[in-house]
């Protein structure tokens, strides 16, 4: 068969004729689909580049199979592959011992039942950096969050009313958003739970809640790092020791907080913390979203109103984005 060595047409023919078979052969040799794809591609490229050396003593298929077996053997022997196998064994260990058990405790479900975006919130990485986040710039407000928010809210155009349930002032009556019983046409940004605003009429959106238990101990430090997660041996999911985060210097005493995760029931005083994101719950949320979308001046914003997980930087960015939209 005519072969234009080094030409795109020649490579195309080899791919068409041998691509699928090579992929199968390499997968059998390597036991890894992604690696098999690389090996099949490398085989085709080698065959194409060396076509001039093919003397036709064996069938073309036999010659290409021999190249594939060599490619697979080289891959299996390479230090890169050995390293990869070690990492893969480590990943399996971390997944089985950390992810599965921690996830079950935190979410009351197996990882398979949970949206991958949720489990991806706890990334696994090998690093000398002991910080939880990988962002280039990380810090705390100089005086802490309370003074920062006090300064933000200290503006003549801002009124703060605490302890007021939005539902006691706000009604969505089917045609207009009412504030204190009267139609209100200005922008309304709602950060509460989307289901609670309309009396959970389609059923409650499921959440996990947390019990926080504080303990003070007569030692300089209780643990080695700011936050330590517990996967198996304790009922709590993690312990946070705030001294590490604030840099506070207080010899001989430290306060820690243990977090216990459980299902949110909607009981008075309970706070919904983590949305349990999966296809069924997203579909339920879509019904509440559709209710809110009927009012053009009504905007759902935040982890509760949008039924999703936000880190603080992400929700700050989302809030600024919504403000930009409203100011246009
Ligand atoms: C345990 C825990 C740890 C976290 N740790 C981190 C972390 O380390 N780093 C990080 O970046 N992010 C962290 N987060 C996420 C961070 O808390 C959120 O990104 C952020 O709080 C989301 O802001 P929000 O405005 O959407 O919601 P919230 O901060 O919850 O604000 C919603 C507001 O709406 C009010 N509200 C609710 N319902 C009503 C109602 N009916 N009437 C009137 N007001 C109402 C609430 O009182 C609240 O003030 C953590 C979250 C949790 C739960």
Question: Which atom of ligand 1 is nearest the CA belonging to 166?
Answer: 42
Query: Cα of 149 to ligand 1 centre, how many Å?
Result: 14
What is the 179 CA–ligand 1 centroid distance (Å)?
24
Dist. CA 286 → ligand 1 center (Å): 21
Q: How far is CA 232 from CA 97, 100, 105, 229, 275, in A?
A: 8, 10, 8, 10, 23
CA-nearest residue, atom 13 of ligand 1: 311
Closest CA to 295 of 171, 166, 202: 171
The protein residue whose alpha carbon is closest to atom 7 in ligand 1 is 311
What residues line ligand 1, using a CB cutoff of 6 Å? 165-167, 191-193, 196, 210, 273, 302-304, 310-313, 315
Given ligand 1 and candidates 195, 242, 302, 314, which is best to mutate, with the most ligand atoms within 8 Å of its CB? 302
Q: Probe ligand 1: pick from 226, 304, 309, 319, max atoms within 8 Å of CB?
A: 304
pLDDT beneath 50: ranges in the chain: 1-2
Q: In this structure, is the dihedral angle defined by the CA atoms of residues 64, 66, 72 and 74, taken in order, positive or negative?
A: negative
Q: Whose CA is nearest to atom 36 of ligand 1?
A: 192
Q: CA of 254: how far to CAs of 117, 141, 222, in Å?
A: 35, 22, 7
Return the best residue to mutate from 145, 311, 313, 316 for the ligand 1 pocket (most ligand atoms within 8 A of CB). Answer: 311
pLDDT score of 2: 44
Q: What is the Å distance from ligand 1's center to 117 Cα?
A: 19
Look up residue 142 and give its DSSP letter: T
Report the atom number in ligand 1 closest to the C-alpha of 314: 19
Q: For residue 310, what is the enclosing H or E element?
A: none
pLDDT of residue 5: 53
**pLDDT for 123:** 66
CA of 21 to the centre of ligand 1 (A): 54
Coil, strand, or helix at residue 323?
helix
User: What distance in angstroms lies between residue 155's CA and the mean position of ligand 1's atoms?
Assistant: 22
Closest residue CA from atom 47 of ligand 1: 192
- Cα separations (Å) of 75 from 18, 44, 293, 323? 20, 15, 55, 53
pLDDT digits (tens, 9 = 90+) for 205-228: 999 999 999 999 999 999 999 999
Cα radius of gyration rounded to whole Å, the chain: 29
- pLDDT value, residue 1: 45
> Pocket of ligand 1, candidates 315, 316, 318: which has the most ligand atoms within 8 Å of its Cβ, to mutate?
315
Query: Can you tell me the distance from the alpha carbon of 195 to that of 273, in angstroms, rounded to the nearest whole number?
Result: 14
């Amino acid at each position: 068969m005519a072969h234009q060595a080094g030409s795109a047409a020649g490579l195309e023919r080899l791919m068409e004729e041998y691509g699928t078979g090579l992929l199968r052969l390499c997968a059998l040799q390597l036991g890894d689909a992604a690696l098999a794809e690389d090996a099949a591609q490398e085989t085709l490229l080698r065959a194409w580049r060396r076509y001039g050396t093919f003397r036709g003593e064996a069938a073309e298929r036999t010659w290409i199979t021999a190249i594939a077996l060599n490619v697979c053997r080289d891959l299996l022997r390479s230090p890169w592959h050995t390293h990869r196998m070690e990492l893969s064994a480590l990943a399996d260990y971390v997944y089985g011992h950390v992810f599965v058990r921690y996830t079950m405790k935190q979410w009351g479900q197996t990882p398979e039942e949970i949206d991958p975006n949720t489990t991806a919130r706890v990334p696994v990485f090998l690093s000398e950096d002991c910080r939880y986040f990988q962002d280039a710039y990380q810090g705390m407000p100089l005086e802490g969050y309370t003074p920062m928010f006090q300064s933000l809210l200290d503006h003549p155009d801002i009124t703060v009313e605490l302890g007021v349930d939005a539902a006691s002032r706000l009604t969505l009556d089917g045609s207009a958003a009412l504030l204190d019983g009267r139609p209100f046409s200005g922008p309304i940004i709602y950060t509460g739970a989307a289901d609670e605003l309309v009396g959970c009429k389609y059923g409650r959106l499921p959440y996990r809640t947390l019990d926080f238990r504080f303990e003070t101990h007569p030692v300089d430090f209780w643990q080695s790092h700011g936050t330590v997660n517990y996967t198996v041996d304790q009922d709590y999911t993690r312990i946070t020791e705030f001294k590490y985060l604030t840099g506070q210097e207080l010899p001989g005493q430290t306060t820690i907080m243990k977090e216990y995760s459980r299902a949110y029931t909607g009981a008075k005083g309970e706070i919904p913390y983590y949305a349990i994101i999966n296809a069924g719950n997203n579909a339920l949320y879509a019904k509440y979203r559709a209710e809110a979308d009927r009012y053009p001046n009504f905007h759902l914003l935040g982890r509760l109103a949008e039924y999703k997980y936000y880190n603080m930087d992400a929700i700050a960015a989302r809030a600024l984005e919504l403000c930009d939209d409203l100011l246009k």
